[in-house]
């Protein structure tokens, strides 16, 4: 878990996740090629977000927190502990951009992994924004399921991902999209 907390805002950095059943809480993250899965059980009134760097799973050790399988399982298990049922969970997934053209498209692989994982687990994806060439700032209200995405330009994405600290200045968003 270990999100960065500011009042009722939880900033989820790479390799982390958190869950909440408090309606006033908003979770946020900055994504480039990484993916954030936002899951909730609307009946139990609980939801959460993760932020993974790489698709699949690690063999062992501290590296595991960078991988999708590990963080998806941690998020689902934390929701179950708060009274959620997997059969009622719904998901919104974000990220997976190709922010640097000279590097392999790990963003696309992250997006494909997230969609496949959720399908295999029987969790319905009710909204997604994957791919493209720009990063995103994502805000998620885990109890209501409301999500908002701000698209960042290429230079802003690189700068924001490098500065992913709670008190670092954030670049201004280019486009805002609301996901209800």
- Set 34, 46, 72, 76: catalytic member: 34
Strands 124-130 and 16-20: unpaired
For 123-140, b where at least 16 C-beta lie within 10 A, e where not — what string? bebebbbbbeebbbbbbb
Verify whether residue 34 is a known catalytic residue. Answer: yes
Distances from the Cα of 51 to the Cαs of 16, 87, 102, in angstroms? 6, 22, 23
Catalytic residue numbers?
Answer: 34
């Amino acid at each position: 878990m270990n999100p960065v907390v500011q009042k009722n805002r939880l900033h989820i950095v790479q390799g982390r996740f958190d869950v909440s059943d408090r309606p006033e809480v908003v979770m946020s993250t900055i994504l480039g090629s990484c993916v954030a899965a936002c899951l909730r059980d609307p009946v139990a009134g609980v939801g959460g977000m993760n932020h993974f760097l790489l698709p699949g799973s690690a063999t062992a050790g501290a590296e595991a927190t960078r991988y999708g399988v590990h963080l998806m399982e941690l998020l689902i298990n934390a929701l179950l502990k708060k009274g959620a049922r997997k059969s009622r969970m719904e998901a919104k997934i974000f990220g997976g951009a190709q922010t640097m053209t000279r590097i392999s498209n790990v963003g696309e692989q992250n997006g494909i992994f997230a969609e496949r994982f959720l399908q295999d687990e029987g969790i319905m994806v009710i909204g997604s924004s994957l791919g493209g060439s720009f990063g995103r700032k994502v805000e998620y209200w885990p109890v209501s399921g409301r999500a908002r995405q701000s698209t960042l330009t290429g230079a802003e994405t690189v700068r924001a991902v490098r500065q992913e600290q709670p008190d670092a200045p954030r670049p201004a968003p280019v486009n805002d999209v609301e996901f209800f």
